[in-house]
A = this chain, B = another copy of it.
Amino acid sequence: MSGEVLNSDWLAERALRSPGALALCEGDRRLGYADLDRRVSEVARALCAAGVKPGARVAVGFGGLDFAVVAHAARRCGALLLPLNTRLSEREIATQLDDAETEQVLRDPGQLAALPPSDAAPPAPPDAGEPSTLIYTSGTTGAPKGALLSPRGFFASALASALHLGALPSDRWLACLPLFHVGGLSILWRSVLSGSAVVVQERFDPEQVDAALDRDGITCLSLTANMLARLLDARRDAPAPPTLRLLLLGGGPCPAPLVARAEAAGFPVAPTYGLTEAHSQVATRPPGAPPEVGATPLPGTALRIEAGEIWVRGPTLMNGYWRRPEASAAALRGGWLHTGDLGRLDEEGRLIVLDRRSDLIVSGGENVYPAEVEAALLAHPDVAEAGVAGVDDMEWGARPAAWVVLQPGADPDTESLRSHCRERLAGYKVPVAFHRASALPRTAAGKLQRHRLGEPDPAQR
C-alpha cells in the first residue's frame, strides 16, 4: 500500500470506489458509501461552522450509526474524536472532558440534526499520522489517560487484520460491542478499508444478535467472553450459521472451555489479544487452529517478552498519551509498547497471554483498575485504607471486591459505601462486596499486595 493511499481521505476514496455498496446499517437505517460520505461532509462542514478547529476535541456520548458518522466527520475536519464510555458515571465523564479540555460535547444524536448546515469547506485534514482519536484508558496508577490514535494507525491495524484473517467486500461485520471502545471503533475502519458493511446494534442483546446472524447474513462478529456465553445460551448451542466466517473474541481473557463450547457449535472463534494503545488487535489465533496454539502476531507487529511482560512494536502503536509526556515515554520506551500484561511466546513465536496486568480486573470486557476504585473509596470520610481485587464471577468473568480499613470509631453501613462508589464510578466498577479488615496486606515497603487481599485477616491469624 503506498503512503499516498494511507494519507488520503479513505472514506472519500471508498465512496468513489464503491458508491453503492452498503456501509452501515442499524435497524431500518441503511447508508451506502456515497450516502455516508455525503452525510459525513455535511456534519464536518456544520462542525467547522460551529467553531470546531483542527485539533479541537469533540466528545461523543452516544453510539450507533450516528456515532460512526461523527467519527468520520471529526477526522474530516481535523478534530480529535473523544468517544465517551456511556457506562461511566457523570463524575468520571466530567473528569475526561476536563482533562481533554473538550470544546464540543455531543451527548445526543439530536444535536447533530440541530447543527446549522454550512457550505464552507473544512480545512485540509492533517497528516494521517497525526492523532484523530482520543480514547481514555486507565493505567495501573488508576489515573485515566487519553491514548492518542491516528488514521494511519487504524488503517495499519485494519490492513494487518485483513491480511491475517481475510477481508471481503461482501463481508458484514456485526458491531454489537460499544463503538466507544477500540474493539468496536476498529470495526468501522476495517469496513472502509475493504468496502464492506457494518451492522450496528448499539446495545448487546443476545436475542437480537442471534436474530441478526441469519437475517443479515453476518460474516464477522466481535464479542467479549461474557457476550459469547450469553449468545450460546440464547441459541441453546444451536449450530453456527454457515455465512459466519469469523468470531473475534477479545476484550479480556478467552476461557478455553468457552472457546471449546463455541467451536463445538461450529463458531469460527478467533481469540485475540489487543489494546487501546495498539489500535486493537495485537495477536490473534485464526479460526480452526488447535486450542494449544498461541495467538499469531498480526503481520508487521513484533512481540517480545521481557521479564514476563509483553512488549509490542509495529505500525499500530499509539502516538502516546494526551499531555502525559512522562507516561508516554514510559509506555513507549525504546519504541516498544510496554503492555504490563504477562505472557510467553511459543516456539513459533506465537503469544500465550498468561495474565493481564496482575492487578487488572476484566469484567465483561470492561477493564476495572483497582487503583481507581480504591481512590474512590478513600474519598469516603470513614475509609482509612482501601484495597480492591477481582473475584471470580460466573457471568462476567470477574468483578471487583473491596477490603477497607475504617477510620477509628467509624461504622458506616455497606449501603453507604456502595452508594458513595455509585456516584463516582461506572456500575461495573462498583465492588460486589465490601469487606472490613483491621489491616491490609502490604510489603515491607508498604506497597499494597492485592493478590493477598482474600487471605484471612491478619488480626485473626
Chain A residues at the B interface, C-beta cutoff of 8 Å: 1-2, 4-5, 13, 16-17, 19, 156, 159-160, 162-171, 193-194, 245, 286, 296, 299-300, 314-315, 348-349
- Contact (Cβ within 8 A) B168 A166: yes
Q: In the assembled complex, how far is the CB of residue A154 from the closest CB belonging to chain B, in whole angstroms?
A: 14
Contact (A299, B166) CB under 8 Å given A16-B349, A348-B19: no
Q: In the assembled complex, how far is the CB of residue A292 from the closest CB belonging to chain B, in whole angstroms?
A: 14
- Contact (Cβ within 8 A) A296 B169: no
Partner of A16, one of B2, B19, B348: B348
- Which chain B positions have C-beta within 8 A of A300? 1-2, 4-5
Q: In the assembled complex, how far is the CB of residue A160 from the closest CB belonging to chain B, in whole angstroms?
A: 8
Closest B residue, CB atoms, query A5: B300
- The answer for the CA separation of A193 and B1 in the assembled complex, in Å, is 13
Q: List 25 A-B contacts (CB under 8 A).
A: A1-B1, A1-B159, A1-B160, A1-B299, A1-B315, A2-B300, A2-B314, A4-B300, A5-B300, A13-B299, A16-B349, A17-B164, A17-B296, A19-B348, A159-B163, A162-B167, A163-B167, A166-B168, A166-B169, A167-B167, A167-B168, A168-B168, A168-B245, A169-B286, A170-B245
- The answer for the CA separation of A349 and B13 in the assembled complex, in Å, is 11
- Which chain B positions have C-beta within 8 A of A314? 2
- Which chain B positions have C-beta within 8 A of A16? 348-349
- Which chain B positions have C-beta within 8 A of A167? 162-163, 166-168
Closest B residue, CB atoms, query A6: B1
Q: In the assembled complex, how far is the CB of residue A35 from the closest CB belonging to chain B, in whole angstroms?
A: 15
Q: In the assembled complex, how far is the CB of residue A218 from the closest CB belonging to chain B, in whole angstroms?
A: 16
Closest B residue, CB atoms, query A34: B348
- Which chain B positions have C-beta within 8 A of A349? 16
Contact (A156, B1) CB under 8 Å given A166-B166, A168-B245: yes
- The answer for the CA separation of A92 and B6 in the assembled complex, in Å, is 44
- Contact (Cβ within 8 A) A163 B166: no
Partner of A163, one of B162, B164, B315: B162
- Which chain B positions have C-beta within 8 A of A171? 166
- The answer for the CA separation of A19 and B349 in the assembled complex, in Å, is 12
Q: In the assembled complex, how far is the CB of residue A284 from the closest CB belonging to chain B, in whole angstroms?
A: 11
- Which chain B positions have C-beta within 8 A of A162? 162-163, 167
- New contact pairs (10) apart from A1-B1, A17-B164, CB-CB < 8 Å: A1-B160, A1-B315, A2-B314, A4-B300, A16-B348, A166-B167, A166-B169, A166-B194, A167-B168, A168-B245
Closest B residue, CB atoms, query A19: B348
Q: In the assembled complex, how far is the CB of residue A286 from the closest CB belonging to chain B, in whole angstroms?
A: 7
- Contact (Cβ within 8 A) A163 B194: yes
Closest B residue, CB atoms, query A14: B299
- The answer for the CA separation of A17 and B1 in the assembled complex, in Å, is 20
- The answer for the CA separation of A109 and B315 in the assembled complex, in Å, is 42
Q: In the assembled complex, how far is the CB of residue A137 from the closest CB belonging to chain B, in whole angstroms?
A: 24
- The answer for the CA separation of A300 and B169 in the assembled complex, in Å, is 17
- Which chain B positions have C-beta within 8 A of A19? 348
- Which chain B positions have C-beta within 8 A of A160? 1
- Which chain B positions have C-beta within 8 A of A168? 166-168, 245
Q: In the assembled complex, how far is the CB of residue A12 from the closest CB belonging to chain B, in whole angstroms?
A: 12
